Amino acid sequence: MADSEPVAFVGTENNRLAADVFGHGSGPVAVLMHGGGQTRHSWGGTAERLARSGWRAITVDQRGHGDSDRSGPGNYSFRDFADDAAAVYAQVEARYGMRPVVIGASMGGLSSLLVAGERDDPPMAALVLVDVTPRMNPNGVAGILDFMGARMEAGFGSLEEAADAVAEYLPHRPRPRSLDGLRKNLRLGDDGRYRWHWDPRFIDGPKPISSGRDPSVNPFVEAARQVAIPTLLVRGRMSELVEEEHVREFLELVPHAAFADVSGAGHMVAGDKNDVFADAVLGFLSRLEAA
């Protein structure tokens, strides 16, 4: 396993955002932003591959997730995550002397899409969207939120019980032999029960991830039309969210974008098929470096 170094960034509420840096030296920088309900540890395998290829890979816990601060007012809209993301990318540029390539899964991808498309000079060198597009299957989105909310308050009596719930939700993924990875996504409460490592107000707080939606306007579609930086869309071919029609629309909105379809992967592409996913990302990055 590649060595990592803990670092931190500051969000727009002066909130601390925990992160790890994989790789050393003066190589190019990639920032990896996880999906809703995940933590920076979901990127471990991808970050290690990037580091072995000469990149410095920074995995970030977004607000209310993992070891990062929770939002005092409970601000968890896409705009809040996008504002934090923009702040992180600007700090990365100031700290490392270059704009990062951003790799964003699900929520991390959509919030980064807003940064790339809505700011005149986004602090990003390129964008990789992982199984997320401006429009997606609403039933798939609802399924994810249902899974996240089902044991949000009650938690689990053991890591094995949590692993059973994940296995039922992701039947296509082989059950891991070790529960160490799952342990990083859970917190052990004073009552002896394990709960997900994210703020429940992310779903049911005063300003949850579902807030601020105007059904007549899709800000992600409008942002995609304005994206000018190099872009790659990676889809899990078994995705319950991103269907072929969504891919076609995205490639019409961002005609310069590249596309990779990962066989055998669902929405959690990096977790399902990390080697294939990393190969697709590194191929895209190699073409960027050559250009």
Q: Taking residues 34-39, what's their average pLDDT?
A: 97
Q: For the chain, list the domains and their CATH numbers.
A: 4-137+208-290 (3.40.50.1820)
Q: What is the pLDDT of residue 110?
A: 98
Residue of 239, 281, 232, 269 lying closest to 254 (CA atoms): 232
What are 229-285's pLDDT values in tens digits?
A: 999 999 999 999 999 999 999 999 999 999 999 999 999 999 999 999 999 999 999
What are 71-107's pLDDT values in tens digits?
A: 999 999 999 999 999 999 999 999 999 999 999 999 9
Sorting pLDDT into bands at 50, 70 and 90, what band is 19? very high
Residue of 210, 265, 206, 257 lying closest to 236 (CA atoms): 265
Residue of 272, 282, 257, 281 lying closest to 104 (CA atoms): 281
98, amino acid identity: M
- CB-CB neighbours of 75 under 10 Å: 23
Q: Taking residues 134-149, what's their average pLDDT?
A: 95
Contact assessment for residue 239 and residue 131, using Cβ atoms and an 8 Å cutoff: yes
Q: How far is CA 190 from CA 70, 187, 194, 222, in A?
A: 19, 10, 9, 45
Q: What is the pLDDT of residue 217?
A: 83
Q: Which residues of 215-253 are buried (b: 16+ CB within 10 A; e: fewer)?
A: eeeebbbebbeebebbbbbbbbbbbbbbbeebbebbbeb
Q: Taking residues 8-18, what's their average pLDDT?
A: 98
Q: What is the pLDDT of residue 2?
A: 64
**Does the pLDDT at position 47 exceed 60?**
yes
Q: What is the pLDDT of residue 223?
A: 98
Residue of 96, 101, 20 lying closest to 287 (CA atoms): 101
Sorting pLDDT into bands at 50, 70 and 90, what band is 175? confident
Q: How far is CA 113 from CA 67, 186, 226, 286, in A?
A: 24, 28, 10, 22
Tokens found for residue 82? 């996008």
Mean of per-residue pLDDT scores for the chain: 95
Q: How far is CA 288 from CA 229, 268, 281, 283, in A?
A: 11, 25, 11, 9
